[in-house]
Amino acid sequence: MGVAALFLLSSLCLFAITAQAQQCSKPSGGPNMDLKPEYILNTTFEDGATVAFSCNPGYTPAGGSPTITCTAGLWSEVLLRCERKNCGALEEVANGEITYINGTEFGDTAKVTCKLGYNPVGGSAVMRCDVEGWTGRLPTCEVVKCVPPGGIVNGTFSPMKEFYEYREVVQYSCNKDLELNGSRELICSEDGNFSPAPPNCVWVECKDPVIENAELQSGSRPPHRLNAALIYICKTGYTMEGPSTVTCDLNSQWSPSLPKCNTQQCSKPSGGPNMDLRPDYMTQTTFEDGATVAFTCHPGYTPVPTITCTAGQWSAVQLRCEKKNCGALPEVTNGEIIYTDGTEFGDTAKVQCEPGYYPVGGSAVLRCGVEGWMGRLPTCEAT
């Protein structure tokens, strides 16, 4: 091959290499953007070529040029910035509230909640921020309505309307001489029903009470209608168990339950000084009306009386327990009896013989006991 041919071949290769180096490969954009559709199919771009980016659906340009240029095989810097689309706040909903789950940007959701007593009507309760803005249509919050409540036998309610709005009230009443059993007022509630349940009309009359050993102190006379009140007291000698005042209720019953008049009892009595209850009464704590108990004097005291329980009170204790008196001892010939304190229970007597005499037999000291003088008198005999 000649020199000219070699030179030509080298020049062509150099041209091809230079031309290839000046092309750019397909560029990559920033976050949330893609090449415009007209550039998507190209794999290489000539030197000086210009391409443009567009933001992905749901994102909008937030500054910077969308185009870049291929220069000597390199693309210029991508300046475009793409941010999430902001749908903005929704219009306010009367009697409702809008809650944004995360915010108002692309992909976020908003929920419409109506106030208590209102329901969403039309539109969608949940909306989403989309490419074109908020999807769906806002609902309206309309007040809950109730149909008329049920009627009652022998009674009526007012006002009567075709429908009632939330928290509207109807009032029931009964025909003459009948009483309302249940709530007088019903209210239209949030579920579209009246509550509580309708009342009913009842005849109320309580029987005249019969309470043994009781007397009517004050109150109504028969017939006893609703809320009639009676006050009772027990006869003398009886105590009341239960309330003294009773009232006729809706069930034609006296409330609370009728009282009872029980026989009065006596508690354990206390005696006077130097006496106790007889042993056969000691274990009792209460005694029936008419019961009789007896006391005994302490050893060395007399006599034995009784007292009686009458209408819850013990009769007076008439017994007086005095110390037993043993009386004077017989005289001692040739001697003298000296009483230490006297001749009553517990006292002592001493026999003292005259000079030249001394006591023989018996005891020189005697004591007044329960049965009398204890011991036997001595005699005074000459020495």
Query: pLDDT band at residue 303, thresholds of 50, 70 and 90?
Result: low
Q: Are the CB atoms for 244 and 232 separated by under 8 Å?
A: yes
Q: Which CATH number fits domain 145-202: 2.40.50.100, 3.50.50.60, 2.10.70.10, 2.60.40.10?
A: 2.10.70.10
Query: Class assignment of domain 335-382?
Result: mainly beta
Q: Are the CB atoms for 266 and 312 separated by under 8 Å?
A: yes
CATH number, domain 96-143 = 2.10.70
Lowest mean pLDDT among 4-18, 220-234, 290-304, 368-382: 4-18
For the cut 60, the answer to whether the pLDDT of residue 173 exceeds it is yes
Residue 351: CB atoms within 10 Å = 21
Q: Are the CB atoms for 166 and 188 separated by under 8 Å?
A: yes
Query: pLDDT band at residue 4, thresholds of 50, 70 and 90?
Result: very low
Lowest mean pLDDT among 60-69, 83-92, 217-226, 301-310: 301-310
Query: pLDDT band at residue 133, thresholds of 50, 70 and 90?
Result: very high
Lowest mean pLDDT among 65-69, 95-99, 292-296: 292-296
The pLDDT value recorded for residue 15 is: 40
Q: Mapping DSSP to helix (H, G, I), strand (E, B) and coil, where does residue 129 land?
A: strand
Averaged over 77-92, what is the pLDDT?
Answer: 96
Instruction: Name the more confident of 173 and 311.
Output: 173
Report H helices in the chain: 3-21
Residue 124 dihedral angles phi and psi, to the nearest 5°: -125, 135
Q: Which fold has domain 214-262?
A: Complement Module; domain 1 (2.10.70)
Q: Which fold has domain 23-84?
A: Complement Module; domain 1 (2.10.70)
Q: CA 259: distance to chain centroid?
A: 31
In angstroms, the CA 257 to CA 240 distance is 13
Query: pLDDT band at residue 307, thresholds of 50, 70 and 90?
Result: confident
- Judge: domain 266-323, CATH 2.10.70.10: yes
Give per-residue pLDDT as tens, 249-283: 999 999 999 999 998 888 888 878 888 888 888 88
Give per-residue pLDDT as tens, 17-40: 444 558 999 999 999 999 999 999
From 32, 91, 37, 95, select the one nearest 64 (Cα to Cα): 32
Q: Are the CB atoms for 212 and 234 separated by under 8 Å?
A: no
Q: Which helix (H) or strand (E) holds 266?
A: strand 266-267
Fold match between 145-202 and 214-262? yes
What percent of the chain lies above the pLDDT cut of 90? 74
Mean pLDDT, the chain, whole residue set:
90
In angstroms, the CA 105 to CA 87 distance is 6
pTM beyond 0.95, yes or no: no
- DSSP character string of 223-234: SB-TT-EEEEEE
The pLDDT value recorded for residue 277 is: 86
What percent of the chain lies above the pLDDT cut of 70? 92
Residue 319: CB atoms within 10 Å = 20
Domain coordinates in residue numbering, the chain: 23-84, 96-143, 145-202, 214-262, 266-323, 335-382
For the cut 70, the answer to whether the pLDDT of residue 53 exceeds it is yes
